[in-house]
Amino acid sequence: MFRKEDSIEKRNKLIGQSCRLFYSDDPLKIVRARGQYLYDENGKRYLDCISNVQHVGHCHPSITQAATVQMELLNANTRFLHDNILHYADRLSATLPEKLSVFYFVNSGSEANDLALRLAHEYTQNEDVIVLDHAYHGHLTSLIDISPYKFRKLTGQKAWVHVAPLPDTYRGLYREDHPNPAQAYADTVKEVIDQVHLKGRKVCAFFAESLPSVGGQILLPKGYSTKVAEYVHSAGGLFVADEVQTGFGRVGSHFWAFQLQGDDFCPDIVTMGKPMGNGHPLACVATTVEIAAAFTANGVEYFNTFGGNPVSCAIGLAVLDVIEKEDLRGNASRVGAYLQEQLKQLQTKHPIIGDVRGVGLFVGLELVTDKDQRTPATDAAAQVVRRLKEEYICVSTDGPWENVVKFKPPMCFSMEDAQLVSDKIDHILTDIESGH
């Protein structure tokens, strides 16, 4: 094994430096992991509050076994018939509203979002896309175009891309004191649609994470998506729900975060990714018969070399099994609620805590230097991350001002873990407030 310093030196030489490290001034070298715990090269154990990809826990034996068994048998492409992809599509179908019944398997959330764009273009024959402010939908050229979080620093905003305000009821245009923020924010999308039409352009899709994460662990006000879908549909566009970060039961009460909006809401396209294969590159697009038919009608094959292969699907099936068998949705509900409760208690004590929000094991702790102005406490948030690392706990920040400490741990996160992290945060905030 390379010494840590040598690893850093070799990495600086061999790997593109745009690929960043956590804790860049003193990165962690992780050699082993299990459940919600990471172990460094000295055997030190870290509590992992951020690996949402390792959804059912790092190195879950059921997942490894499923992969091994299928790798020994077959890993051909989907131009041959195979049962795994059918079983898997069936199982996913059961988690979704009935009309989302056609599946395309791909290798990453980015590939899924790119395909969603292609499907929407082909179905609507329109070009323009509306996205939420600060959104991030992936690293591909087409997705940087629809990610304000990226295009503002890179290529700029294309004429076919339109940005609607982030429906953030803590820091946004309409806040918790507004009588109907869902309607008010949905109306901002309507205004964007009107502007698109005034320019003589047409709406292809409204694209949004069901819980905007890079935007700062935001919960869309209930009713927002239903209303937006109504406006977007009237304009001839589609509603794409990006569930890459939020799907597979993370929110506890539901399998998909968009289901928090209620039964009267159904997206036209759902994209999924990160937690789907517990670390294995696996992602998917679900859509309707009509949209899939429009994509087929152009007569052009869509072939994804690795997408939906028997090993990926075996792993995907195993992840679904573990979520059910270990009641990880129940755990996410219970532990997530307890974590929020603990953090809300801290809020009464620490004025630096502006907001505690979330659902299931998707939780944000927003720090502010001033409760009235809600001035982002960016430095304090960075300090919390750094200090928690010294306590062997990994968290990170999000939001436009990087002042939201986020929690999106493996779904086996326990009550004790939640207690530990909130206790440590309590101490750290006390220190910060006293100037230490």
Nearest distance in Å: CB 152, a second copy: 10
Closest residue by Cα to residue 372 from 358, 357, 351, 356: 351
CA distance 54 to 57: 5
* Residue 94 found at the interface with a second copy (CB under 8 A): no
* Residue 123: CA count within 13 A, CB half-sphere: 24
Could you give phi then psi for residue 311, rounded to 5 degrees?
-70, -45
Nearest to 212 by CA among 135, 106, 320: 135
Residues 24-63 that bind a second copy (CB under 8 A): 27-33, 38, 51, 53-54, 58-59, 61, 63
**Residue 176 touches a second copy, criterion: CB under 8 A:** no
Specify the residue, 53 or 429, whose C-beta has the smaller distance to a second copy: 53
Spell out, one character per residue from 131 to 170, where the chain touches a second copy: x when CB under 8 A holds, - when not: --------xxxx-x-----x--xx----------------
CB 242, min distance to a second copy, A: 14
Q: How far apart are CA 60 and CA 99, in angstroms?
A: 33
Answer for which of 25, 72, 176, 390 binds a second copy (CB under 8 A) is 72
Which of 44, 71, 175, 386: binder of a second copy (CB under 8 A)? 71
Chosen residue from 83, 176, 177, 390 binding a second copy by CB under 8 A: 83
Residue 62: helix, strand or coil by DSSP?
helix
Smaller CB separation from a second copy, 180 or 296: 296
Which of 25, 98, 264, 301 touches a second copy (CB under 8 A)?
301
> Closest approach of Cβ 278 to a second copy, in Å?
8
Q: Please tell me the distance from the alpha carbon of residue 2 to that of residue 370, in angstroms, as a whole number.
A: 46
Which listed residue (56, 67, 132, 272) binds a second copy by CB under 8 A? 67
Site track for a second copy across 404-423, x = CB under 8 A: --------------------
Structure-block tokens of residue 389:
């690392």
At 28 the three-state DSSP class reads: coil
Among 52, 35, 22, residue whose Cα is nearest residue 213: 52
The CA dihedral of 190, 255, 399, 233, to the nearest 10 degrees, is -10
CB of 97 or CB of 165, closer to a second copy: 97
What is the crossing angle of helices 415-433 and 378-390, to 10°?
120
For a second copy, the binding residues in 260-289 under the rule CB under 8 A are: 273-274, 278-282, 287
Least CB distance to a second copy at residue 19 (A)? 6
Helix axis angle for 61-73 and 310-325, nearest 10°, is: 150
The two structure tokens encoding residue 309? 């292969």
Contact residue for a second copy among 25, 43, 80, 176 (CB under 8 A) = 80
Cα dist. 80→71, 174, 308 in Å?
Answer: 16, 52, 11
DSSP 258: G
Least Å distance, CB 45 to a second copy, is 13
Kindly state the number of chain residues that form the binding site for a second copy, as judged by CB under 8 A: 100
Binding residue for a second copy, selected from 125, 157, 180, 302, defined by CB under 8 A:
302
